[in-house]
């Protein structure tokens, strides 16, 4: 099979398990984001894919060949480090040409390829500058160009944009995604920023404590989270306990939610409801009773915080559907069954 396959990959540091039984398939040409909180093992997993760390257990295959024990320099990959790791003693052009020089490519061809890459990253004419003289965003691009110089089979980036300011980061996310689609290169990006992952990835892999919690398309991760961790980590959500009777009818905060299908045998669990799916109505008429505690009007969206049954719930609405409520007012909450995701607690 073409692409990257991880089988049961595990990494232990002494008694601490940093990566636990990871199975993952990355088809050729796709863009995958490893997403998770700091310390969840993203970098460790990426370093094993790059060959910089050896897995304690498991196998890594690239285009069908087992590369678990192939040394890094024979893997034909391109990697962008969090610190970028540009060589301070080389110019921009020499940095980009490094992998070509190591492989004995002729001077003429090196120069041609460097010019090509420099124009790709919009830095034509920068070849002879020292890297220390570049801005953060420019260095970022040079690191990307250096990693792509040999047209690698696999393009790895560890938190590549974390050092940039917010505006530049958003622009680079789009640019990186467009570049990847143009080159059709299999790409894995580590990030702890879910917005970044949603912007770029074909597949988002959510990790926690060294394990994969869910691997799916961004929209599916958002709409159909696999567990409470994923639901909570990706975007804002309301996690509300429910109990179900033997007929599968779910009761939330003392009120029955109509048409909600609870799997048989599940007597209690958690509902994940996105704030934009929480609708405020007048109290009564089968709605959950609640009281408005705070209204945050951000201009583009309005977040209304309400308290119902001792639980804080957030509703988000657009300005054209601005709820007509004020702090202290009694309201009702309507949860539509198709917006609720039933999760085990």
Partner 1 sequence: MRREAPQRLADYGPLLFPAGMLIVFFVIPFATMIAVSFFQRDPAGFYSTAFVFDNYARFLSLFFGKVLGFSLFLAVTVAICCVVIAVPFTYLLSRARRRTQVLWLVALLSVLSLSEVIIGFAWSTLFSRTAGITNLLVAIGLMSEPVALNPSFGAVLTAMVYQALPYTVLVLYPALVRLDPTLTEAARTLGASPVKSFFTVVVPALRNTIVATLIMVFIFALGSYLLPQILGRPQHWTLSVLITDQAIYQSNMPFAAAMAVFLVLVTLGLVGLTLIATRKGEAA
Ligand X SMILES: Nc1ncnc2c1ncn2[C@@H]1O[C@H](COP(=O)(O)OP(=O)(O)O)[C@@H](O)[C@H]1O
Does the footprint of partner 1 cover residue 52 (CB under 8 A)? Answer: yes
The answer to whether 146 contacts ligand X (rule: CB under 6 A) is no
Query: Given the complex with Mg ion, which of 157 and 341 has the nearer CB atom?
Result: 157
The CA distance from 285 to 283, in Å, is 7
**What are φ and ψ of residue 308, in 5° steps?**
-135, 125
Provide, rounded to whole angstroms, the least separation between the CB of residue 231 and ligand X. Answer: 20
The token pair that represents 135 in the structure block: 């801005």
CA dist 248 and 261 (Å) reads 7
**Residue from 4, 9, 18, 292 in contact with ligand X (CB under 6 A):** 18
Asked if 39 touches ligand X (CB under 6 A), the answer is: yes
Q: Count CB neighbours of 217 within 10 A.
A: 14
Residues 15-54 contacting Mg ion, CB under 5 A: 43
Using DSSP's 3-state secondary structure scheme, residue 11 falls into strand
From residue 146 to residue 185, the character string flagging contacts with partner 1 as x (rule: CB under 8 A) and all else as - is xx-xx-----x-----------------------------
| 345 part of the interface to partner 1, by CB under 8 A | no
Q: At what angle do helices 107-120 and 136-148 cross, to 10 degrees?
A: 130
Q: Which of residues 44-63 bind ligand X (CB under 6 A)?
A: 44
Which of 4, 35, 42, 143 touches ligand X by CB under 6 A?
A: 42
Interaction between residue 50 and partner 1 (CB under 8 A): yes
Pick the stretch among 65-73, 120-128, 193-201, 202-210 that binds partner 1 (CB under 8 A). 65-73
Q: What is the CA radius of gyration of the chain?
A: 25
- SS3 state of residue 192: coil
Residues 31, 34, 39: CA angle, nearest 5 degrees? 160
Judge contact between 24 and 55, C-beta under 8 A. no
Least Cβ distance, residue 2 to partner 1 (angstroms): 21
Among 43, 180, 228, 238, binds ligand X (CB under 6 A): 43
- Count of H-run helices and E-run strands, the chain: 8, 20
Q: Should residue 88 be labelled a site residue for partner 1 when binding is judged by CB under 8 A?
A: yes
State the SS3 of 201-223: CCEEEEEECCEEEEEECHHHHHH
Tell me: does residue 208 bind Mg ion (CB under 5 A). Answer: no
Residue 15 found at the interface with ligand X (CB under 6 A) = no
Residues interacting with partner 1, by CB under 8 A? 50-52, 71-73, 75-79, 81, 83, 85, 87-90, 98-99, 102-103, 146-147, 149-150, 156
Residues interacting with ligand X, by CB under 6 A? 13, 16, 18, 36, 38-44
């Amino acid at each position: 099979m073409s692409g990257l396959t991880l089988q049961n990959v595990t990494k232990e540091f002494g008694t601490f398990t940093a990566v636990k039984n990871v199975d993952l398939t990355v088809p050729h040409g796709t863009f995958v984001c490893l997403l998770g909180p700091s310390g969840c093992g993203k970098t460790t997993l990426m370093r094993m894919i790059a060959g910089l760390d050896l897995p304690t257990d498991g196998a890594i295959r690239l285009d069908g060949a087992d590369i678990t024990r192939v040394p890094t320099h024979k893997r034909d990959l391109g990697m962008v480090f969090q610190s970028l790791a540009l060589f301070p003693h080389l110019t921009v052009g020499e940095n980009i040409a490094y992998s070509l020089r190591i492989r004995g490519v002729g001077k003429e061809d090196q120069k041609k390829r460097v010019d090509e890459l420099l124009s790709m990253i919009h830095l034509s004419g920068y070849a002879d500058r020292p890297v220390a003289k570049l801005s953060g965003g420019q260095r970022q691009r040079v690191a990307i160009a250096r990693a792509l110089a040999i047209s690698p089979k696999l393009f790895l980036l560890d938190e590549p944009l974390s050092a940039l300011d917010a505006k530049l980061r958003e622009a680079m996310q789009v640019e990186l995604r467009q570049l990847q689609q143009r080159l059709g290169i299999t790409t894995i990006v580590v990030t702890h920023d879910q917005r970044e992952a949603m912007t770029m990835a074909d597949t988002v892999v959510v990790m926690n404590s060294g394990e994969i919690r869910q691997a799916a398309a961004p929209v599916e991760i958002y709409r159909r989270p696999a567990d409470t961790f994923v639901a909570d980590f990706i975007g804002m959500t309301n996690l509300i306990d429910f109990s179900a009777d033997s007929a599968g009818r779910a009761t939330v905060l003392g009120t029955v939610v109509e048409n909600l299908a609870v799997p048989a045998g599940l007597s209690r669990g958690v509902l994940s409801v996105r704030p934009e799916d929480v609708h405020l109505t007048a109290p009564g008429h089968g709605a959950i009773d609640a009281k408005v505690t705070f209204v945050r009007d951000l201009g583009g969206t309005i977040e209304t915080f309400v308290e119902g049954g001792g639980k804080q719930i957030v509703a988000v609405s657009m300005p054209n559907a601005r709820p007509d409520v004020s702090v202290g007012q009694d309201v009702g909450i309507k949860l539509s069954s198709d917006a609720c995701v039933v999760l085990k607690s």
